């Protein structure tokens, strides 16, 4: 599709972080499928203010992968949320799904704090409708977070 090498490397790192998180969840006896999806939604809602489905709707996605359509900043914050959740889980040893839901919320909150701080400093929202198609077609100047004027 034309992703930059830096974006590809960042995306690969995000896959590694996600795997570490799901390995942690498996170690806690959690089930892939509905439990993983629920925990992912809790993490995403905690930092981005939206469930994964709400986030996909915002970006105009149907079957496309949400992470593949995040801006650099969104992807970094999602990575922070997932890494924080994994670290908190490893440190606190949640004993069941309910306890893991609380950990997921706490991990997402770490990224929310960072996002709010960044938004306060830049005056720009982090969670946006920008998706890969818009960014790669050059419609969007991701550095500035602005839609370019089409001539």
User: Does residue 148 lie in a domain region?
Assistant: no
User: Does residue 145 lie in a domain region?
Assistant: no
CB 72 within 8 A of CB 10: yes
Question: What confidence score (pLDDT) does residue 4 get?
Answer: 78
Question: What confidence score (pLDDT) does residue 1 get?
Answer: 56
User: Does residue 143 lie in a domain region?
Assistant: no
Range of the domain at 14: 5-137
Could you give the count of Cα atoms lying within 13 Å of 148 in the half-sphere of its Cβ?
12
User: Does residue 104 lie in a domain region?
Assistant: yes
- Residue 99, Cβ density class (10 Å: 0-12 exposed, 13-18 middle, ≥19 buried): middle
Question: What confidence score (pLDDT) does residue 6 get?
Answer: 83
Q: How many domains does the chain have?
A: 1
User: Does residue 147 lie in a domain region?
Assistant: no
In the numeric block, which tokens belong to residue 24?
């942690």
pLDDT tens for 26-51 read 999 999 999 999 999 999 999 999 99
Separation of alpha carbons 22 and 133, rounded Å: 29
Model pTM score: 0.87
Which pLDDT tens digits describe the chain residue by residue (151 residues)?
A: 567 788 889 999 999 999 999 999 999 999 999 999 999 999 999 999 999 999 999 999 999 999 999 988 999 999 999 999 999 999 999 999 999 999 999 999 999 999 999 999 999 999 999 888 777 676 555 555 554 544 3
User: Does residue 146 lie in a domain region?
Assistant: no
3-state helix, strand and coil shares in percent for the chain, rounded to the nearest 5 = 65, 5, 30
| Those residues with Cβ within 8 angstroms of residue 102's Cβ, 6 or more apart along the chain or in another chain | 94
């Amino acid at each position: 599709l034309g992703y930059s090498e830096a974006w590809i490397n960042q995306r690969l790192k995000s896959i590694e972080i996600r795997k570490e998180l799901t390995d942690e969840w498996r170690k806690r006896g959690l089930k892939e499928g509905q439990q993983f999806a629920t925990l992912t939604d809790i993490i995403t809602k905690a930092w981005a203010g939206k469930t994964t489905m709400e986030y996909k709707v915002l970006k105009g996605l149907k079957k496309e992968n949400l992470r593949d359509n995040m801006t650099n900043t969104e992807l970094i914050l999602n990575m922070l949320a997932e890494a924080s959740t994994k670290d908190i889980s490893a440190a606190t040893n949640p004993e069941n799904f309910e306890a893991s839901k609380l950990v997921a919320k706490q991990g997402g909150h770490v990224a929310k704090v960072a996002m709010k701080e960044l938004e306060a400093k830049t005056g720009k929202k982090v969670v946006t409708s920008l998706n890969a198609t818009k960014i790669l077609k050059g419609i969007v100047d991701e550095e500035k977070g602005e839609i370019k004027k089409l001539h």
